Amino acid sequence: MSDNPGDALLDAIEPASSAASGEIHQVRGPLSWRSELRRQWGRRRTLWAFGLLLALPLVLVGSFAFGERSSNSRGGASTRIFDLAQSGAANFSLVLVFLASELLLVLLAALFCGDAVPSEASWSSLRYLLIAPVQRARLLTSKLAIGIASTLLATVLLPAWGLLVGGVAYGWDPLTNPLGENLTWGQFLPRLALAMAYIFVTLLPIAAIAFWLGTRSDAPLAAVGGAVLVSILLNILDQLDALDPYRNAFPGHYSRAWQDALAVSPDYTDMVHGALWALVWAVAFTMLAYRRFRRSDILS
Amino acid sequence: MSVRASLIAALVLGSGLTMAPAPSALAAASVGQAADTVAPEVSSVPVGAEPDGTAVRLDVSVWPQSSGKHPVVLLAHGFGGSKDSVTSQANDLHDRGYVVVAWSARGHGQSGGRIHLNDPAYEIADARTLLDLAARRSDVELDAPGDPRAGVMGASYGGALALMLAGSDRRVDGVVSAITWNDLADAFFPQAAVTRAPTTAAGRSPIDGAGPFKQVWATNFFLSALRGGAGGQGGQGAGADRCGRFDPTICRLFVQASETGTASPQLTALLRAHSPKPTMNVVTAPTFLVQGVGDSLFGLDQADATASALAATGAPYAVRWSDGGHDAASTHEAEEVEASYTWLDHYVRDQGARGSALPTAAFTYGTPAGRAGQPTTLHTLTAYPGLSGAALRTRELPLATTSGALVHPPGGQPASLIAVPGLAALGVSLSTYQIAALPGQSAALDTQPLAEAATVVGSPTMRVTVTSDSPDVTLFASVWRVTGGSVTLTNPLVAPLRLAVTPGRPTPVTISLPAATYEMPAGTRWRVLLTSTESTYSNSRSPSAIRISDASAMTLPVATGATVDGAVAGVVDTETILAGSALALLLVAALVGWLVRRRRRLHRPTRPDLADVPLVVEGLVKTYADGHRAVDDVTWRAEKGQVVGLLGPNGAGKTTTMRMVMGLISSDAGSVHVLGEPVSAGSRVLGRVGALIEGPGFLPHLTGRQNLEAYWSATGRAPEDAHIPEALDVAALGGAVDRPVKSYSHGMKQRLGIAQAMLGLPELLILDEPTNGLDPPQIAAMRPILRRYAETGRTVVVSSHLLAEVEMTCTHVVVMHAGRVVTQGPVAELVDSDDTTILDLPERVDHTLVSAAVHALEAADGVTEVRVDTPTRIVVVADRGRAEVVAAAVTAGLPVVGVSSRRHLEEVFLGVISSASAPGVVGEPGDEGASLVERLRQVRAR
């Protein structure tokens, strides 16, 4: 009989009645950061996202090398930016950030934060987490924390990797910008860190919107796509002068203010505004997400 | 953008010199404002006649004060505008307690007469007439009989009028003059070749001889008057007149200058006379000067000259350099207007003493913002550099390139494009170096890189030696910044110079470069670009070759003012406060919500009396949002050691009940207690429950083993409590445990799901349809596991619609239908029944015999129902004892070979369900039961 499935389990069971019953021995809180990290990090989408991020500077370097042969004729404003990118590590990483901050990082933030909950729902594993049991709020907190941490990692990785690739490809020259403002490495690195911190904060509203949509939908695509759509719509509305000054409050209105941090004499006013509004939206949508998820019936 | 920018400029400064759309837009604005402010008294005031004797009346508006005596402000408009251009300022000043007089100047708006360009005999005399008018008003405060307490304010054309009125009429007590000229001849024929190094920030003492003609501006000026004339009624020389409303003499001289590109002596004399300069030496009224860097028409040197004159007379004065002007809107307009009002308030309304502290900084300038479109950073100094005892600080910047050569092209074409009026207002920031430094027509003099950053405030100067093959040399100097490979224009301004030289002989000259504020970071170089042509100027048509040599070091006027956190900081703060308080509010709301929920959670009572019962479901009700009542007052319990089957057709509410038991969905009423603890979402007691609900759910990219580990890790419980190997043994996946779950079959996932439910050997195991996807041997293998699991004193709840399965596995059963519990109890009791007897017949029995016997038996006393279940099995329901039933059957002729009391669960099930579905019991339509039975038969056929 011992080859029957289940025998080992039944052998392991002590009669329940004998134990003074079920003192559950917790060694950690439910859905600890570590266990959530393991759930998200092995995923194909995470690896792809970071792979893409790491490939971007290499693609840039490659295309610059390729383009050198054909284009020495005309120098428009856009080519000047790319000429500038090739003048050293600092410029290269800055151009990289400039290119990626508009869409790539937004997309990644929406992916990391928007996909976490609905993907569990779509695999039906969400209900098993909840009956493990993991408190609703705890589940959201873990998912959000790891999503935000992944976003942060992407935000840090982008310029750091850009500096490394740029340095190897174009040398370790400090920043020169077209307005004629040069920063030494000692000035540039803290400013870059500040700019990245600011970019990270401005990503939070989109992350929070994606997260909130994720608690409303079981389809990961709906959450990520919805958040990106919202971001695009807001960008369009932001173009309308008629909405001035109300558009200042839009998430994304100050999305380029990080460039202020890299001026020789930085003006942080816009960054302060941008960061505050970003936090307002991030907190608001995070609250909506918690409110929604705490009360919702899990039917997935 | 340009329309908006110029509109703002016109609104604030009342200029409208080149701003075509301004008058109509302003007229609309004034209509809107008239509703909530005092309506001006409109009158037609006779003034001095034209040179040809034509009588002239001015269109005048007076904003009166209702009571008391008030100071008066004469509000002059810009060139091409009318009294309507200044309505909003008039309202502001009226609110501050002034009687405001606004009028359309001669040749403008609805006033008669012709434009004499601020002729002291006409426009200025008109303004004096208006002062007389004000002195006669009952609401105007007088300093002396016929001498009203009066201020005068204006921009551009109106600004010059303000200065000239103060120079011709002692009754003026305060002046605000913005973006205007000191010497109109110098403004239209600017000469940047100077006799000596300047002693003031933007000072320029030009050599004799007019500079090149500022053709584009002059034409704009001319055209704006033509446009103004077309709309007005003052058409004495009606019809299409190429002079429009200009005075014929002025018109003729202008046209002549445009043709020749040089200033005739008459024109120079006329322009100089129509300027504040001749009368500035008598101005003693406190004067506030606003001049713009963004102004290629009236540069900072014009205000510098006015300020120097004021310093000489000892009049209180203050200078403010705006970043706006005729080319661009200021980024600090509101503050500039406010400072102007403050100036008038102090000296005119409040009669501030001449020796009292200035109401504003003596000198205010802005340094460019880091990014386009941002307000400049304001700085103040306690005195204007070089005046009132303040020294002019300078720095030397040596050159790296000291010579160059250029030609003036024949015909003057193509011309360099540098100081394009309005380009900055359009927000154009493209590199213009290629169209400025035309090959062969320019010489670039580069400095050494700056060792340390410098803020240059004023007009840099340098000396060069010019050698030419023609006696008339024209050069345009502009200042560029060189960084790496890129060259950018610092300000869209040029310093033009026109020299009379002896051909072939080197002539030294000192160049006063455009006055502005320049922010020069360390490491950058400056480039002084000398071009032979400039598109906004009238260029000579004859060719020449010019050599530049021996360029000296640049002399830079520098300043370090105190930084101002002006009203813009206040605007900034408003937004910061707004956003900050919104954020704070949200955080407080989140905190309060969290605290409230925490309290509420603590208030759920436990039930000690149920501590020994693994699961108690009491009065559960769930109605979905669409109104469907899925579960209606469901009550049952599962005791230790039991295997409870939850039976019911699809849609009976089994899964909904299970989800409520696990806290996945909230109940509308009723309660669930597990071991005495109430269950809600995420209750800790759920850790003592293992469940498989509506199919398994796994992370597809992880293997079976990793999935169980990940699940257990999510519970946060000790790994040794999990018994993962034993659970995997239940799943019997073999080598597949280490393959990703996405490669699993449905049955494999199902078994892994059951194994996951068993992790940690929970006291209550809830399995929803566990046999889905399992093949018969696997089902058979699962059966003893569940039985023996329960025998350890734990509890198993299985939901299913497979009746045979439940019958074979479960000890107890709860039957649900349409959201209600229709029956429940031990399986043995349910299938065991006193009134039912089952008779087994032998094989190969004669059917006709049997059916005859059945009919006979049905007729027997006390028999209520006889049913032929299978050919060898007959079910008899009777209210008599079993022995009597058997006897009756034998009597009826049935060959009975076996007797039992057990029904199949299916019979019970169909029986209770059909009775529950009967009308009146559940309240559902009667045919529901029939179709239900039909459905169940189909289930059985599977």
What is the distance between the alpha carbons of residues B570 and B583, in angstroms, rounded to a whole number? 19
DSSP B816-877: EETTEEEEEEEHHHHHB-TTEEEEE--SS--HHHHHHHHHHHHHSTTEEEEEEEETTEEEEE
Cβ-contact B418, B372 below 8 angstroms: no
Return all residues near A13 (Cβ < 8 A) that are at least 6 apart: B761, B789, B792, B794
Tell me the β-bridge partners of B817: B820
Q: Do A27 and B370 touch (CB under 8 A)?
A: no
Same domain, B857 and B720: no
**Does A29 contact chain B (CB < 8 Å)?**
yes
Same domain, B842 and B826: no
B835: which 2 tokens?
């009134």
Q: B240 lies in a domain? A: no
CATH of the domain at B310: 3.40.50.1820
A233: which 2 tokens?
């719509």
Return all residues near B777 (Cβ < 8 A) that are at least 6 apart: none
Work out the minimum CA distance from B859 to partner chain A, whole angstroms: 53
Same domain, B293 and B404: no
Per-residue DSSP letter, B286 = -
Cβ-nearest to B586 among A21, A25, A284: A284
Q: Give the per-residue pLDDT at B941.
A: 40
Shortest CA distance to A258 belongs to which of A184, A300, A203? Answer: A203
Tell me the β-bridge partners of B740: B703
Instruction: Tally Cβ neighbours within 10 Å of residue B483.
Output: 19
Return all residues near A272 (Cβ < 8 A) that are at least 6 apart: B576
Q: B437 lies in a domain? A: yes
Tell me the β-bridge partners of B646: B799, B814
Confidence of residue A84 (pLDDT cuts 50, 70, 90): confident
**Partner A, chain B 563-602, Cβ-Cβ below 8 Å:** 572, 575-576, 578-580, 582-583, 586-587, 589-590, 593, 597
Q: Do A9 and B717 touch (CB under 8 A)?
A: no
Return all residues near B562 (Cβ < 8 A) that are at least 6 apart: B379, B380, B381
Work out the minimum CA distance from B773 to partner chain A, whole angstroms: 17
Q: B241 lies in a domain? A: no
Phi, psi of B865 (to 5 degrees): -155, 140
Q: B765 lies in a domain? A: yes
Same domain, B335 and B462: no
Same domain, B201 and B153: yes
**Does B716 contact chain A (CB < 8 Å)?**
yes
Q: A46 lies in a domain? A: yes
Same domain, B638 and B782: yes
Q: Give the per-residue pLDDT at A161.
A: 95
B724: which 2 tokens?
């993962």
Q: Give the per-residue pLDDT at B352.
A: 87
B615: which 2 tokens?
């699961």
CA A164 distance to own-chain centroid: 21
Residue A157: domain span = 42-55+75-295
Task: Mark which of B549, B579, B599 sits at the end of a domain.
Answer: B599
**Partner B, chain A 271-300, Cβ-Cβ below 8 Å:** 272-273, 276-277, 279-280, 283-284, 287, 291, 294-295, 297-299
Question: What mean pLDDT, rounded, does chain A reach?
Answer: 85
Work out the minimum CA distance from A50 to partner chain B, whole angstroms: 18
What is the distance between the alpha carbons of residues A7 and B798, in angstroms, rounded to a whole number? 20
CATH of the domain at B682: 3.40.50.300
Cβ-contact B860, B874 below 8 angstroms: no
Report which of residues B600 and A23 the model is more confident about.
B600
Tell me the chain B residues in contact with residue A183 when contact means C-beta distances shorter than 8 Å: none
Task: Mark which of B381, B405, B433 sits at the end of a domain.
Answer: B381
Q: Mean pLDDT, to the nearest integer, of A146-152?
A: 95
Q: A264 lies in a domain? A: yes
Same domain, B535 and B660: no
Same domain, B810 and B869: no
Tell me the chain A residues in contact with residue B752 when contact means C-beta distances shorter than 8 Å: none
Sign of the C-alpha dihedral computed for residues B75, B81, B82 and B88 taken in this order: negative
Q: Give the per-residue pLDDT at A133.
A: 87
Phi, psi of B638 (to 5 degrees): -125, 125
User: Best residue in A7, A10, A176, A286 to probe B by mutation, most B CBs within 10 Å?
Assistant: A10
Q: Do A181 and B483 touch (CB under 8 A)?
A: yes
**ipTM rounded to 2 decimals:** 0.90
Residue B892: domain span = 833-941
Q: What share of chain A is helix, strand, coil (3-state, %, to 5)?
A: 70, 0, 25
Q: Give the per-residue pLDDT at B484.
A: 67
B210-236 exposure pattern, b = at least 16 Cβ within 10 A, e = fewer = bbbbbbbbbebbbebbbebbeebebee
Tell me the chain B residues in contact with residue A253 when contact means C-beta distances shorter than 8 Å: none
Work out the minimum CA distance from B705 to partner chain A, whole angstroms: 14
Three-class SS state of A82: helix
Q: A217 lies in a domain? A: yes
Q: Residue A283's closest chain B neighbor by CA?
A: B586
Tell me the chain B residues in contact with residue A5 when contact means C-beta distances shorter than 8 Å: 729-732, 781, 785
Q: Residue A45's closest chain B neighbor by CA?
A: B701
Cβ-contact A105, A203 below 8 angstroms: yes
Q: Give the per-residue pLDDT at B607.
A: 86
pLDDT tens for A207-231 read 999 999 999 998 999 999 999 999 9
Count of structural domains within chain B? 5
Q: Do A16 and B371 touch (CB under 8 A)?
A: no
Query: How do beta strands B363-367 and B377-381 pair?
Result: antiparallel
**Partner B, chain A 138-167, Cβ-Cβ below 8 Å:** 138
Mark out the alpha helices in B189-239 (DSSP H runs).
215-231
Q: Do B586 and A10 touch (CB under 8 A)?
A: no
Shortest CA distance to A158 belongs to which of A95, A88, A231, A115? Answer: A95
Q: Do A30 and B524 touch (CB under 8 A)?
A: no
Sign of the C-alpha dihedral computed for residues B192, B194, B197 and B200 taken in this order: negative
Tell me the chain A residues in contact with residue B732 when contact means C-beta distances shorter than 8 Å: 5
Q: Residue A133's closest chain B neighbor by CA?
A: B682
Q: B247 lies in a domain? A: no
Same domain, B334 and B410: no
**Partner B, chain A 203-262, Cβ-Cβ below 8 Å:** 241, 245, 248-249, 259-260
Cβ-nearest to A26 among B521, B590, B716: B716
What is the distance between the alpha carbons of residues A257 and A275, in angstroms, rounded to a whole number? 10
Distances from the Cα of B305 to the Cα of B159, B227, B286, B455, B459, angstroms: 14, 32, 16, 22, 13
Cβ-nearest to A176 among B453, B484, B793: B484
Sign of the C-alpha dihedral computed for residues B764, B768, B769 and B775 taken in this order: negative
Q: A272 lies in a domain? A: yes
Q: A27 lies in a domain? A: no
Task: Mark which of B537, B564, B591 sits at the end of a domain.
Answer: B564
What is the distance between the alpha carbons of residues B385 and A209, in angstroms, rounded to a whole number? 55
Cβ-nearest to B371 among A5, A260, A277: A260
Return all residues near A226 (Cβ < 8 A) that are at least 6 apart: A114, A209, A210, A213, A217
Q: Residue A125's closest chain B neighbor by CA?
A: B697
End-to-end CA, chain B: 75
Work out the minimum CA distance from B875 to partner chain A, whole angstroms: 38
**Partner A, chain B 249-278, Cβ-Cβ below 8 Å:** none
Q: B679 lies in a domain? A: yes
Same domain, B47 and B149: yes
Mark out the alpha helices in A71-103 (DSSP H runs).
77-85, 89-102
Work out the minimum CA distance from B360 to partner chain A, whole angstroms: 25
Q: Give the per-residue pLDDT at B27.
A: 35
What is the distance between the alpha carbons of residues B866 and B657, in angstroms, rounded to a whole number? 37
Q: A168 lies in a domain? A: yes
Distances from the Cα of B461 to the Cα of A294, B299, B472, B526, angstroms: 72, 16, 22, 13
Q: Do B575 and A260 touch (CB under 8 A)?
A: no
Instruction: Tally Cβ neighbours within 10 Å of residue B646.
Output: 33
Tell me the chain B residues in contact with residue A132 when contact means C-beta distances shorter than 8 Å: 686-687, 711, 714-715
**Partner B, chain A 72-91, Cβ-Cβ below 8 Å:** 77, 80, 83-84, 87
Shortest CA distance to B821 belongs to which of B813, B832, B829, B833? Answer: B813
Cβ-nearest to B761 among A13, A38, A248: A13
A60: which 2 tokens?
């840039």
Return all residues near B417 (Cβ < 8 A) that are at least 6 apart: B432, B435, B436, B535
Tell me the β-bridge partners of B150: B72, B172
In this structure, which long-range contacts are made by residues A252-258, counting pairs with CB atoms below 8 Å and at least 24 apart in sequence? A252/A202, A252/A205, A252/A206, A253/A277, A254/A202, A254/A278, A255/A101, A255/A102, A255/A199, A255/A202, A257/A198, A258/A97, A258/A101, A258/A195, A258/A196, A258/A198, A258/A199, A258/A202
Tell me the chain B residues in contact with residue A16 when contact means C-beta distances shorter than 8 Å: 640, 761, 763, 792-794
Instruction: Tally Cβ neighbours within 10 Å of residue B394.
Output: 18
Q: Do B583 and A132 touch (CB under 8 A)?
A: no
Q: B798 lies in a domain? A: yes
Same domain, B13 and B89: yes
Instruction: Tally Cβ neighbours within 10 Å of residue B145.
Output: 6
Query: How do beta strands B615-623 and B454-458 pair?
Result: unpaired
Count of structural domains within chain A? 1
Query: Is the link from the previous residue into B503 a cis peptide, with omega within 30 of 0?
Result: no
Per-residue DSSP letter, B522 = T
Tell me the chain A residues in contact with residue B488 when contact means C-beta distances shorter than 8 Å: 178-180
Q: Give the per-residue pLDDT at A9.
A: 75
Q: A281 lies in a domain? A: yes
Q: Do B684 and A25 touch (CB under 8 A)?
A: no
Tell me the chain B residues in contact with residue A29 when contact means C-beta distances shorter than 8 Å: 716
B499: which 2 tokens?
């020299």
Element (DSSP H or E) covering residue B58 = strand B56-63
Return all residues near B129 (Cβ < 8 A) that are at least 6 apart: B45, B47, B48
Same domain, B764 and B906: no
Q: A300 lies in a domain? A: no
CATH of the domain at B481: 2.60.120.260
Query: How do beta strands B544-549 and B461-468 pair?
Result: antiparallel
Report which of residues A157 and B483 the model is more confident about.
A157
SS (H, E, C) B354-418: CCCCCCCCCEEEEECCCCCCCCCEEEEECCCCCCCCCCCCEEEECECCCCEEEEECHHHCCCCCC
Q: Give the per-residue pLDDT at A18.
A: 43
User: Best residue in A125, A267, A291 to probe B by mutation, most B CBs within 10 Å?
Assistant: A125
Cβ-nearest to A133 among B374, B687, B789: B687
Cβ-contact B532, A188 below 8 angstroms: no
Instruction: Tally Cβ neighbours within 10 Å of residue A19.
Output: 12
Q: Give the per-residue pLDDT at B228.
A: 54
Q: Give the per-residue pLDDT at B291.
A: 95
Average confidence (pLDDT) per 10 residues, chain B, 942 residues: 36 35 34 58 92 92 92 93 91 93 92 91 94 92 92 94 94 95 94 91 90 88 67 43 83 88 90 94 94 90 94 93 86 90 93 88 85 77 89 90 92 82 55 80 91 89 93 93 79 91 92 91 87 90 91 90 61 78 94 86 78 91 89 92 89 90 90 90 88 91 92 90 87 88 92 92 91 87 88 90 83 90 85 77 82 84 79 81 84 84 73 66 43 50 39
